[in-house]
Amino acid sequence: AWLLLFRTVHRTSSTLRTQADENERLALHDALTGLPNRRLLQDRLDRAIIAGQRANKHVGLMILDVVRFKEVNDTLGHDRGDALLIEVAKRLENVVREADTVARLGGDEFAVLAPDIGSTLDAERLAARVHSAFDEAFQVGDLLLHVESSIGIAMLPEHAEDATELMQRADTAMYAAKSTHLGALLYRPGEDGNSAERLQL
């Protein structure tokens, strides 16, 4: 009887632990693409900044969105839009370095965290690689879709002092890239006014 009870408790405990692990994974990952979500990105960003400050290293952050994604969603339907986002996620993971984190922030917005990046030039080179991941058309069901990305790049300590500021500045640079159709842009201090205006709107 004791052996039976022990086995039952062990089995139940194992099931609960597996369920708890799965719940934690779901809480930290995007349900559609399986990528880290905003919460997990924030945690990795905080850790990268602490490590970078200790070792006097740079941290890069890119925020990108898929140009004309709303058009794809509206004209072809959400199923095709979702399939496109899954393909985008795969391509992004294939072009970044092993130490980098690709995350989905929501909608058609993604982020790439590059801890220990050598310089702003290295960050721009990585952004160019990310941007080139969109050169080839995406196979979505029976369709070939051509979409591009707008990428904003910000660096710590060059452009920001903390995680919140780094996110804001990468976001600002992304909107600048979007409005100028330049693909990928490094943050420039003069762009902050536009960011405040957008926030007010």
- Structure tokens of 120? 């702003």
Q: How far apart are CA 5 and CA 64, in angstroms?
A: 54
State whether residue 145 is helix, strand or coil.
Answer: strand
Nearest to 64 by CA among 134, 150, 147: 150
Q: Helices 38-55 and 2-28 sit at what angle, rounded to 10 degrees?
A: 80
Q: E-assigned strands of 47-188? A: 58-66, 101-106, 109-117, 138-140, 143-145, 149-156, 184-186
Place of tokens 């220990």: 116
Q: How far apart are CA 105 and CA 36, in angstroms?
A: 9
Which of 108, 122, 135, 162 does the annotation list as catalytic? Answer: 108
- The whole-model pTM stands at 0.83
- Structure tokens of 94? 């294939």
Cis status, amide bond into 157, omega within 30 of 0: yes
pLDDT of the chain, 201 residues: tens digit per residue: 677 776 777 777 766 666 655 555 568 999 999 999 999 999 999 999 999 999 999 999 999 999 989 999 999 999 999 999 999 999 999 999 999 999 999 999 999 999 989 999 999 999 999 999 999 999 998 899 999 999 999 999 999 999 999 999 999 999 999 999 889 999 998 766 555 554 454
Active site residue 108: yes
